[in-house]
Structure 1
Amino acid sequence: MSSHHHCLGLNAPNGEIHHIKFLSEHIGALYLNDEYSDVVLKIEGQPFHGHKAILAARSEYFRALLFGGMRESQQSEIELKGTTLAAFKCLLKYIYTGHMSLTSLKEDVILDVLGLAHQYGFVDLEASVCDYLRDALQVRNACAVFDAARLYRLERLAEVCRDFLDRHAAEIIRHDSFLQLSPDAVKELTSRDSFFAPEADIFRALRDWVAANPGCGQAGEMVGAVRLPLMSLAELLTVVRPTGLVGPDAILDAIHQGSQLRDSELAHRGRLLPEENVAQPRHGTQVLQGEMRSALLDGDCSNYDMERGYTRHAINESGDPGILVKLGTQSIVNHIKMLLWDRDERSYSYYIEVSVDQKDWVRVVDHTKYYCRSWQFLRFPARVVRYIRVVGTYNTVNKVFHVVALEAMYTHAEVSLDQGLIVPKENVATVERSATVIEGVSRVRNSLLNGDVHNYDWDSGYTCHQLGSGAILVQLGQPYMIHSMRLLLWDIDGRSYHYYVEVSVNMWDWVVVADKTRESCESWQLLTFKPCPVVFIRIVGTHNTSNEVFHCVHLECPAQCDGPPEPAPAQDAAVPVSTAGAGATSATVTVVATSATATADQQADEDS
């Protein structure tokens, strides 16, 4: 009889009884208990009394072994091979109790437990051990954990190990555990661009690995991962040649490539810190050229004006060196985020080059033909970078290029590029993406771009212009390769519009991408066209069946869906007494967004 039958306080006032704790205690009491045992499991000669029903209920492996019709299902004593005594004892206790204390176990036992959890199908235990190992990674155990993760195809754990080994490559190759890595693991690690350590040190580590594993028979493949052209002539002659692991021809080829190829053509290694800005002083980054250098990397993206808070350089035709940033160490970068000074409507043109040696430069961003404003979200194929040079080529107001902030990083976010420009999937006609309305009439600036497609009426929630005069003009933050747009025309009553849309990259050359001047258009408009670079979007209304004003509620590009969103809430169709708004015969200017030309007060900024 249960020892708890006499206890008070175990009633069920809600009709629900939860005595799971007692069940766990009673089953756990059978661990290593020969009472009611009907099978003996032998590990390294030591017997463990078990209970077939419990083992089978907890594991598909034991269910098949004990009740699947195999020879073992008829045996009362079964020998299990391929495991260690300590690891199996921990696993057996987990089977009976659901509990395991990893902190009290040695690392080799934990790895053996991971192998058993994988072999016997304990998915939850496997996941928990992986989580523990991810948090417990150190230089001394990372190689062993990585090998185990590869062996059991635990990709999430393996990826964490790769990241750790990359970050600590210089220490890892000097640690004894590196010599115990499997051949495939060694080749995978040393082939990675992000396994960042001096090439001569990597060669020495591989030389030692080959010596410690004489039976592998893969010496040539191992040292083949070394990037010999990155090594100096002295290193090739004094470190590589004496080992005999690399033939004379390969050494001569390396010398030739190192001296003849451009530095940008060599397969450099670099530090990889995914989603982390490496252009920070704490990473050793510094600004080498540019005026007012301290502002660029201080992280302050709010407190700047015409006098402070930015780094600048003069724009001139003689080839100004621009703003030069040196990263603390060469890093793998595919994303630069930059804030251009944006306290007025000015725009800039610029290009960005990167280098490893400050001699051979590669242009990764070329916006010299485009007008750009505010935040720039720039992507390019991943490269190893040590130096970043930002050169302004044009400012719509004066001859100075101003940058408030700069970030550089590697991101896993996927993006498509066409002619060096981002092909966006998300809507880039938003304030968050630096877009702005620079011409048009609305009660609230940029209401066209705020994403609100429900809250509009006769007086607010739209942007408009007088037919035959002006237009609605939007500037994106930077050039994008655009192939579609979607508009919401004001549609509270039954009116229809005629209009056309044209795009430009510089406000001078315009291309019509949609001509609806001969069609009656209402509500949502989906426009598709041949992909082209876009910075400016000009929407020009030519007809309104109700009055002389063209009204647009929402613009997005690229289009986010093929049809309209959920219907807007019902609106009051009564025309208000006020003569201002969509029901009026002319537009009343409440807020006017001006064009991107120099204003009177911009002259005072000529020296900024």
Structure 2
Amino acid sequence: MSSSSHPLRPLGSVCEIDHVDLLSEQLGALIPGEDYSDVTFVVEEKRFPAHRVILAARCHYFRALLYGGMKESQPQVEEVCLEETRAEAFSMLLGYIYTGRVSLSAVREEVLLDFLGLAHRYGLQLLEDSTSEFLRTVLTSHNVCSVFDVATLYSLSTLSAACCSYMDRHAPEVLASDGFLTLSKAALLTVVRRDSFASSEREIFQALCRWCRQNSEVEDIEEVMSCVRLPLMTLTEMLNVVRPSGLVSPDHLLDAIKLRSESRDMDLNYRGMLNPEENIATMKYGAQVVKGELKSALLDGDTQNYDLDHGFSRHPIEEDGRSCIQVKLGQAFIINHIRILLWDKDSRSYSYYIEVSMDELDWVRVVDHSKFLCRSWQNLYFPPRVCRYVRIVGTHNTVNKVFHLVAFECMFTQRPFTLEKGLLVPSENVATVAACASVTEGVSRSRNALLNGDTRNYDWDSGYTCHQLGSGAIVVQLAQPYIISSLRLLLWDCDERSYSYYIEVSTNQQHWTKVVDRTKVSCRSWQTLKFDKHPASFIRIMGTHNTANEVFHCVHFECPAQLDTEVNEGSPGNLWSDSSMSNQQNRPSRPVQSHSMLPSSPSSSSSPPSSSSTQH
């Protein structure tokens, strides 16, 4: 029998009844009076009648207290005194237990923190999370220290992180607030030891002096004052501000002066603003281009509208490296990720390096691609650095003596990355059009067919890239140098032919290293290859044999290989995969003799066109 004809379920009837609002209202009506109550809580000399069964049903803590064999669970016990509990916060908690609702917006700050403490103590996780979320939305310079203290006490990591982030962004105001003086020692140390607590050392020192006077009973004041990074202060500040306080020993002052005078500037432990995953090289954050020609184009955010005449900044390439494009950030920031767009309207490549500084005098090189050929978008990573200035120095252009830069972005990223010898070790395929890779040698009916990710739609006429055996090669240029140790190819496999080949890598197209040798192996379909790590901007695939004709055909290329199953270089035998067999079985077979003889087609024995390089 269908549900529509069920005798107890007439057509159009209501299938669910939801009277939760009524339930909440009626249970809430039990709170003010003593009707049916069987236990009374005494909090700050105020009495709160309640019902054991409701409390036990809603809260594990009260279930254990009132029914778990403790003295409060005895029938003759009618009153339970709760110590270290505020009456106003407890009243809010009872309201939540009975109704499932509580309004936080009009509650005073100290009551709200007490309420959060009760939610934590009584194990009401959802209530604790919701209260923490509300607190994150109402943080101010006046209350953030109090909230952080409570979050630290109860190990509320998300709320603690939100407080730290807020204090980092508003450090001077936080230091001047009364709440700063109420921080526990542990919370205080956590705050001021952060590299991202972006305030001057003088302000931090003076705030810590006030905290020490306010908390004179705290032991080991020296540990507190050690949080001040004295070498970042001027000699005048150390002598006229720090020394008269008496809170720092003369030996520590002398050590700081010595370190300041003997260290290079970029080795000092600077503080900087931290804005995760946000480009801070923008006018919004006060960034400006201070060196280079056509300055206005670099930070305008336009990465589409540029050509031979406009939309880029530039500088002449000189052997002494004096010319550069330099960006001044709005303040000192912590960065570990830079993205730049090299002018890419033709096939040219560039070499360059990037340096950062705090004072425009002492520079640290964070990216060095001066010996590598690079093009288009560059995704660059390095260990975190605090800096105020960033300069990009072009060292080579394959077309002329000018370095052209279309866009510049810098930020701090929390995404994981791996570096070896200063180069990125990619975990995902970077041989894609989206990653700005391109095919610089090889014949194909469509540009970059090798990198478009299509591993199914290929046949006798299209979907592959090729070169004539003994002449030319297939060459893929990655956007920038990477450390690679695996590749994956799909050799054309619409019949039973097999191929032999080898693969070389290079960073400049002048010096090549062979990483794969399949010249003595019959290979077909999918090839998943693993080899020792090498830096590479260019990968050259050189076919040496085809059992059907004199042309080498490749359908798909990826770097690094995106399969878990890898074949170590040097292992013998044909390289097959289940996907390649399935791919072949799903494609209709076409006999060679029925196909018209197109140049460079897999069925043709004639040579490909004489121009074996795609023009860019």
**TM-score interval, normalised by the smaller of the two chains:** over 0.9
Question: Would you say the 8 A contact 2:489–2:554 is kept in 1?
Answer: yes
Match for residue 406 of structure 1 among 405, 408, 426: 408
Deviates more, 1:547-556 or 1:83-92: 547-556
Superposition deviation, residue 57 in structure 1:
1.1
Q: Does 1:238 align with 2:258?
A: no
Deviates more, 1:71-80 or 1:199-208: 71-80
Match for residue 475 of structure 1 among 474, 477, 480: 477
| 2:521 paired residue number | 519
1:212-254 Cα deviation digits (max 9, x unpaired):
1111123211110000011111111111011100011111111
Superposition deviation, residue 572 in structure 1:
1.9
| 1:66 paired residue number | 66
| 2:287 paired residue number | 285
Superposition deviation, residue 584 in structure 1:
2.9
Write the letter of the residue equivalent to 2:232. L
Superposition deviation, residue 92 in structure 1:
0.5
| 2:145 paired residue number | 143
| 1:161 paired residue number | 163
| 1:602 paired residue number | none
Q: Does 1:49 align with 2:49?
A: yes
Partners of 1:51 and 1:579 in 2: how far apart?
91
- The structure-2 alpha-carbon separation of the partners of 1:515 and 1:180, relative to structure 1 and needing over 3 Å to count, comes to same
Write the letter of the residue equivalent to 2:22. F
Write the letter of the residue equivalent to 1:61. Y
Q: Does 1:497 align with 2:513?
A: no
| 2:266 paired residue number | 264
| 1:594 paired residue number | 614
Deviates more, 1:453-462 or 1:66-75: 453-462
For residues 527-606 of structure 1, the aligned pairs below 5 Å read: 527-563=529-565, 567-568=582-583, 570-575=586-591, 577-580=595-598, 581-586=601-606, 594=614
Superposition deviation, residue 595 in structure 1:
6.8
Deviates more, 1:31-40 or 1:331-340: 31-40
Question: Would you say the 8 A contact 2:595–2:603 is kept in 1?
Answer: no
Q: Please tell me the root mean square deviation across aligned C-alpha atoms, in Å.
A: 1.9
Write the letter of the residue equivalent to 2:587. Q
1:153-199 Cα deviation digits (max 9, x unpaired):
11111111111100110111011111111111111111111101111
Write the letter of the residue equivalent to 1:21. D
1:432-452 Cα deviation digits (max 9, x unpaired):
222111111222211211222
Match for residue 454 of structure 2 among 452, 455, 465: 452
Write the letter of the residue equivalent to 1:26. Q
| TM-score of the aligned structures, taking structure 1 as reference length | 0.93
Question: Would you say the 8 A contact 2:316–2:323 is kept in 1?
Answer: no
| 1:33 paired residue number | 33
1:32-80 Cα deviation digits (max 9, x unpaired):
3322212111111211111111111111111111111111111221111
Superposition deviation, residue 82 in structure 1:
2.1
Partners of 2:196 and 2:21 in 1: how far apart?
49
**Matched residues, percent identical?**
55
| 1:600 paired residue number | none
Partners of 2:578 and 2:164 in 1: how far apart?
43
SS of 1:86's partner is helix
Partners of 1:87 and 1:595 in 2: how far apart?
74
SS of 1:424's partner is coil
Superposition deviation, residue 336 in structure 1:
0.7
Question: Would you say the 8 A contact 2:377–2:479 is kept in 1?
Answer: yes
Superposition deviation, residue 488 in structure 1:
1.3
| 1:3 paired residue number | none
Q: Does 1:218 align with 2:236?
A: no
- The structure-2 alpha-carbon separation of the partners of 1:393 and 1:520, relative to structure 1 and needing over 3 Å to count, comes to same
Question: Would you say the 8 A contact 2:551–2:608 is kept in 1?
Answer: no
Partners of 2:157 and 2:609 in 1: how far apart?
60
| TM-score of the aligned structures, taking structure 2 as reference length | 0.92
| 1:310 paired residue number | 312
Partners of 1:15 and 1:395 in 2: how far apart?
73
Partners of 2:111 and 2:454 in 1: how far apart?
58
Q: Does 1:90 align with 2:88?
A: no
Partners of 1:373 and 1:516 in 2: how far apart?
30
Deviates more, 1:72-81 or 1:227-236: 72-81
Superposition deviation, residue 26 in structure 1:
2.6
Partners of 2:168 and 2:243 in 1: how far apart?
27
Superposition deviation, residue 540 in structure 1:
1.1
Q: Which blocks of at least 5 consecutive residues in structure 1 are unaligned?
A: 1-10, 597-608
- The structure-2 alpha-carbon separation of the partners of 1:293 and 1:592, relative to structure 1 and needing over 3 Å to count, comes to farther
SS of 2:176's partner is coil
- The structure-2 alpha-carbon separation of the partners of 1:19 and 1:503, relative to structure 1 and needing over 3 Å to count, comes to same
- The structure-2 alpha-carbon separation of the partners of 1:153 and 1:565, relative to structure 1 and needing over 3 Å to count, comes to farther
Superposition deviation, residue 24 in structure 1:
2.6
Write the letter of the residue equivalent to 2:81. E
Question: Would you say the 8 A contact 1:526–1:562 is kept in 2?
Answer: no
1:324-381 Cα deviation digits (max 9, x unpaired):
1111111111111000000001001111111101111111111111000000111111
SS of 2:530's partner is strand
For residues 354-503 of structure 1, the aligned pairs below 5 Å read: 354-503=356-505
Partners of 1:385 and 1:153 in 2: how far apart?
32
Question: Would you say the 8 A contact 1:442–1:590 is kept in 2?
Answer: no
| 2:78 paired residue number | 76
Superposition deviation, residue 457 in structure 1:
2.3
Write the letter of the residue equivalent to 2:21. K
Question: Would you say the 8 A contact 1:43–1:85 is kept in 2?
Answer: yes
Question: Would you say the 8 A contact 1:443–1:591 is kept in 2?
Answer: no
Question: Would you say the 8 A contact 2:467–2:612 is kept in 1?
Answer: no
| 1:7 paired residue number | none
Deviates more, 1:122-131 or 1:17-26: 17-26
Question: Would you say the 8 A contact 1:466–1:586 is kept in 2?
Answer: no
SS of 1:438's partner is strand
Q: Which blocks of at least 5 consecutive residues in structure 2 are unaligned?
A: 1-10, 566-576
Superposition deviation, residue 15 in structure 1:
3.9
SS of 1:432's partner is coil
- The structure-2 alpha-carbon separation of the partners of 1:550 and 1:85, relative to structure 1 and needing over 3 Å to count, comes to same
SS of 1:116's partner is helix
Deviates more, 1:22-31 or 1:482-491: 22-31
Write the letter of the residue equivalent to 1:496. S
Write the letter of the residue equivalent to 1:35. D
Superposition deviation, residue 552 in structure 1:
1.3
Partners of 2:34 and 2:590 in 1: how far apart?
87
- The structure-2 alpha-carbon separation of the partners of 1:66 and 1:565, relative to structure 1 and needing over 3 Å to count, comes to farther
SS of 1:103's partner is coil
| 1:603 paired residue number | none
Partners of 1:238 and 1:394 in 2: how far apart?
50
Superposition deviation, residue 590 in structure 1:
12
Partners of 2:85 and 2:459 in 1: how far apart?
73
For residues 247-262 of structure 1, the aligned pairs below 5 Å read: 247-262=249-264
Partners of 1:53 and 1:252 in 2: how far apart?
68
Write the letter of the residue equivalent to 2:225. V
For residues 168-183 of structure 1, the aligned pairs below 5 Å read: 168-183=170-185
Partners of 1:232 and 1:517 in 2: how far apart?
67
Q: Does 1:122 align with 2:85?
A: no
Superposition deviation, residue 592 in structure 1:
6.7
Superposition deviation, residue 12 in structure 1:
8.6
Deviates more, 1:83-92 or 1:43-52: 43-52
Write the letter of the residue equivalent to 1:254. A
SS of 2:334's partner is strand
Question: Would you say the 8 A contact 1:444–1:591 is kept in 2?
Answer: no
SS of 1:433's partner is coil
SS of 2:586's partner is coil
Equivalent residues, number: 587
Write the letter of the residue equivalent to 2:431. A
